[in-house]
Every structure is written in structure tokens, then in C-alpha cells.
Structure 1
């Protein structure tokens, strides 16, 4: 006997599109029967996780029968000491994604407006739609630079949240310090600014800012950071927000009590001080970007100068075919169509060998098309 029911989900869920992650290595291996897959799709650390983090995880295994520290005290204290803020100015989250959801749950109501500079990270829209808020898209300007006049022009009395990703995913472009300072000064003070600085450690521009200086100055800014990229801890999901205490206290009201597991807390606290791993990662990233820049130039392809650990490259009208052919050959990258950039691929910086293999395959695919 079939039981019929008529349970209705919230109407706002009609606007939600689940996040689409990069294809996992194991899945492509199973599909193609290939032993070796190169994944350059999710901006992961090609050197692997912080060794200090691995040691901390190993040392914490015997306590897994205990609940994790709900207040994440040790990690917040470590962050405070390193970043010259108070422990009460941090909230630890299950990756940066959870922080975006928590921020939306804290400050957004039906009818509020959220300004998002596009193309950018899709989770900002997810958080807005989850709470029934309206998304106001402000396209990036020429060469994917932030259009400050357009951002300010989109602000009205309904604006509650402004999402800025710098360096921006997927373009790798950034918001210079002076321009961000001006923007914060002219914005109405009822607006919370999310400064997503997940890729900040890779930025090399002299006028780049991760936004923490404006948190210290008392602006209504929350800076998002993650341990997934630089520290290579994407698999255990840990990130954090830094903001004035009044903002943190409000977000803490909607946070689950044990949202970050004990192994993630221990690993993150240890990784913060793994200076050798950080040094090697940044050096490898800088070398890898130059390798990709040179390779794309030799192939006659233009790309966007990136302040991050990925490169957005203009393949042209054949971008989707190139993406699919790379996938069939065991190389996973990101097709730009998911950001309405159908001529582009976003390619994570890999090891020297991975980058070389990628460039070789792209050259082969392009030659076959001629």
C-alpha cells in the first residue's frame, strides 16, 4: 500500500541550488579505470596537509570518546595571539561555508537585500536565498575588477549584507586597501560587510588587505578565513570569522554547540604555527603560477593575473569541449560555465609535474581541433 502525503517545504527552497563541488578523484578513477588522476579543480594544497596538523590529529585520537570543546577556546586563543585580536572577536566554523550560513541566519530576514559582486562564490547566494532575502548582483567591471561605484549605487535601505571576496573566486582579482577603506567609510553603518579572505595568504600585491585591519578599527566587517587552502586541511573542515565582538556574540547565538570536531580544532591550532609548510606552499604556488602563465602564453591563451592559488584562463568557444576532453584524460579542472563564463576554465595551481601534464594535454587538444 502506497502512503500519500502532502508535506511542503519552505517556498524559498525553490530558489536554492545545491553547491556543486569539483568531481572527486575516486569517482573519475572508477569511471575511467585510470590509476592516476590529476585534480586541479578545487584549489586544494598540492603539497598536502600541514605535518604539524597531522601530528596534532594523531595525538588527539585517544580522546575521541569526549565531545569537542564547544567554545573552541584553544584555537581562538591561538588566533588572537597570532592576529592581534581578542579571542572574543573570533567564531570558529565548520569550514568557511558554515560561516556564510551562520552569518545569513543571524542578520537576514525576508525582504532584506544582499549585494554580491559577480562572478563569485555561489554560497553567498545560497545563504541569502535560505533566509528568503533578495540577491542583488553587481557585475565585476573591466578585467574582472571590482566596480565600487556600481556597488555603492546598489545600496538602499533594504541592503543588509555586502559580500566581497578578495582575492575573488574564480577570477583571482582583488580589492585594493584604499578602495576598500573608502567603501567602508561611505557605506551606511547598518550594513554588515563579509570580507571573504579565504585566499588572502596567497596575495602578493603591496596594496592588498585581508580586512583584519578594519576589524581592529571597529568597522562592521566580518573577515572569513579557512584552513582548507594554505594549510591543506580541506578534508576536516575548519574555518573562522573575525569581527567586532558585538557581531560575534550575535552569530554565536545561531551556532551549533559542537560544530567543529576535536581533530579539526587540534589540527588547526597546530597548523597556524607550521611556518615551514606555509613557506613551501607559498613558494610552490608562486612558481606554479609562473609556470602556468608561461605555458598559456605559449599556447596563445590569455589569463587573468591571479592573487590566489588558481588561474582563470580564456580558452575561447571550445572551453567546454576542452574541459570534457581533459576530464576524459584524467585531469579535473573547473568549467567556467557555472559562473556564466563559458569561455573560461579555472585551474588550480598544482605541482610542477601536474601543471606540465595539464599544459601538455591542453596543447594536444588544441592541436587536434586545428
Structure 2
């Protein structure tokens, strides 16, 4: 049986190593995972109670329209319920837009490196991929991305904060870009890490949608809300766009448990504020470490930091940390071969990995 030609070049997504696997392989009793940008503080405690209660109804299909969480989220975002499209994580919403708009006759524009699922899903649909390198500051080069748009362009992807650099597109930059982009080209702004952002000039993309109906916004409950394993994310767009895309959504694509957890999470926003504050404190720990050892890093507005170890390969740093019980993400797989991406953890976790790296770098300097 012959598959689609473009499928043959794809590789399955490779997640970070599971904790139990690392323990077993290396004989470790304690392993800290700081590789997948999960929330080190878990989720609001009330969410756990809600999940346990919802388990009494696991034999019943979920609400396919997600009516209750839709209404609650719409109020929280100050948008209309019809503007929201839920997915099994925001990854699935990305997939739905690709499936709806991309074809072998079209192209799509994105930064490089960025979140790989834009490219992955675009390849599946047979679309031409136009990648525009990030600037030296690790930011989207919006001028060159605009220049790459032609009559066959259907979607332009903007990841802000960008994964893996953590940099953002600022409001004046985004507005200037949107003013130039043709109205029949979708601008997809992925804000998976939005809740961690502290920058004053981060754009209010939902407000901008009133002026630019071709702007869509992706967000998720996986990161700051701490619901990664339950897989619930969403897209917000003009109602007409949602009506077009919704038919490609699989029925019952978000579970009862995920919907209930998200509903409850929105009732406990103080937890998000706490996570944002702790994350910023942790980021300062890493920035101080980098400055102390003259290591380059991109100022990140996410819950992760990409650190350049210069002459060392990312895989070398990754393997050293793995042997010492820390799972991070090697930059070799992210387009930054001398870097590693580290999720900001708790204060104690950050101190542990920084102490481990400091010991290694000090020993390297002496030798």
C-alpha cells in the first residue's frame, strides 16, 4: 500500500523522556523533568476534586459542543461563544485549520525555528512550506514574513511567546503586520504561554480581532492551568471562520473530565497569578546563572529558557544533566545545536539544576 508521498518524509513527534524510563535506564531514584514546559506547581487543588467527581460519569459521552465550558470561557475572554473552537489540546485546533485551508495548491508562511506542529500538519496537507529564519534576537522577522506572502498563501503562523526562544511579537509590531497582510490570508497567533507573559506591550489579540477578522488566536489549558494530560485547548476567531472549520472537528473531541477541569480552573484564577509570579522568579534565577557564566540566552516570556552553551553541543549538555537526574530538551532537536531548553521549575528544582550545571562548568574551566 502506498501512502501519500509527503507522509513518507515525516517523523513521529518525539516527546521528552518519561521519568520512569530514565530511572530504569540510569538506575536513579530521583529524576526531575524540566523538558516539556509543564506547570511544576500542578493545577489548582479544586480541579483535582472536580476531576474525581467527574469520574462517576465516565461511561457517558461528553457534550460534543462543550456548552458549559464554552459559555464560561466566552465570559472570561469577553468574546461570543460562537467564536470558540475547542480541541484535544490547541495542537488539534492547529490541525483543524490546516485541514480546512491548506492544500497542494497553497502555501503557508512560518518562522524557523518555531513550534513544529505548524509545519508538520502543513506537510500532511501537501502545502508548500515557506520558512523565514528568526532574527538574531530570536524573534519573528515580520517584514520578511510579509514579503514571503503571495497569492497562494493561506495561513501565516506567529508563535508568541515563541517556542523555543520565548520571545514575543509586541503590539505595535503585530498591528503594523496585520495592516499590511491581505484580508484573505489567515494570521494564526499561537499564545499557548500567554498566561506567563509579564511584558506591558504584549498585544491584546482578542481585541484586535474586531479590526482584523482574519486574525485567529490559539490558547490552551495545558500550560499555566496545569491540565496538560487532559488535552483541552481552543481557538478564538471570527464566527464565520469558526463555522467553516467546525465541521472538520471530530465529535466528542474533548472529554467530560477535561471540560469539567477547565470549568473549575477558570474559577481559581488566583492559582494562575501565583504561577506567573513564581515563574518570573525562577526565570530570574536562570538569567543570573547565565550572566554569571557568560552564557547567551533569549529573554523569555514563557515558562522556559533557551540557553546557549557556546562550544558545547546541546546533546552533550542534555546527556550530562540526564545522568544527574534532570530531563531537559536538547537544542539539537530544536534548531539550536549548542543550546538546551529548560522548563522553569520550582525554586528548589531550579536551584538543583543550576547547581549541577555550575559544578560541571567550574570543573570544565579548571581542566
Q: Same fold (TM over 0.5)?
A: yes
- Counterpart of 2:119 in structure 1 is 125
Is the Cα contact below 8 Å between 2:32 and 2:349 reproduced in 1?
Answer: yes
**Cα RMSD (Å):** 1.2
How far apart, CA to CA, are the structure 2 residues paired with 1:203 and 1:119?
20
- Counterpart of 2:32 in structure 1 is 38
How far apart, CA to CA, are the structure 2 residues paired with 1:166 and 1:312?
15
- Counterpart of 1:68 in structure 2 is 62
Does residue 293 of structure 2 align to residue 331 of structure 1?
Answer: no
Does residue 339 of structure 2 align to residue 354 of structure 1?
Answer: no
Following superposition, the deviation at residue 218 of structure 1 comes to 4.4
Does residue 157 of structure 2 align to residue 163 of structure 1?
Answer: yes
Following superposition, the deviation at residue 300 of structure 1 comes to 2.3
Is the Cα contact below 8 Å between 1:117 and 1:139 reproduced in 2?
Answer: yes
- Counterpart of 1:4 in structure 2 is none
How high is the TM-score relative to the length of structure 2?
Answer: 0.97
Does residue 52 of structure 2 align to residue 58 of structure 1?
Answer: yes
- Counterpart of 2:340 in structure 1 is 345
SS in 2 for 1:136: strand
Is the Cα contact below 8 Å between 2:305 and 2:344 reproduced in 1?
Answer: yes
How far apart, CA to CA, are the structure 2 residues paired with 1:96 and 1:23?
22
- Counterpart of 2:197 in structure 1 is 203
Structure 2 residues without counterparts, runs of 5 or longer:
none
Does residue 359 of structure 2 align to residue 367 of structure 1?
Answer: no
Does residue 73 of structure 2 align to residue 79 of structure 1?
Answer: yes
In structure 2, which of residues 137, 143, 161 is the aligned counterpart of residue 143 of structure 1? 137
- Counterpart of 2:91 in structure 1 is 97
How high is the TM-score relative to the length of structure 1?
Answer: 0.96
SS in 2 for 1:216: coil
Following superposition, the deviation at residue 71 of structure 1 comes to 0.3
SS in 1 for 2:154: strand
Following superposition, the deviation at residue 105 of structure 1 comes to 0.5
Following superposition, the deviation at residue 210 of structure 1 comes to 4.9
Number of corresponding residues: 364
How far apart, CA to CA, are the structure 2 residues paired with 1:349 and 1:216?
35
CA distances 1:235-294 after superposition (whole Å, capped 9, x unpaired): 111100000011111111100111111000000111112122112211110110011111
Is the Cα contact below 8 Å between 1:45 and 1:229 reproduced in 2?
Answer: yes
How far apart, CA to CA, are the structure 2 residues paired with 1:206 and 1:62?
44
SS in 2 for 1:240: strand
CA distances 1:162-181 after superposition (whole Å, capped 9, x unpaired): 01000100001110111111
CA distances 1:127-151 after superposition (whole Å, capped 9, x unpaired): 1001000110001112112212101
Structure 1 residues without counterparts, runs of 5 or longer:
1-6
SS in 2 for 1:209: coil
- Counterpart of 1:276 in structure 2 is 270
Is the Cα contact below 8 Å between 2:306 and 2:339 reproduced in 1?
Answer: yes
How far apart, CA to CA, are the structure 2 residues paired with 1:307 and 1:169?
10
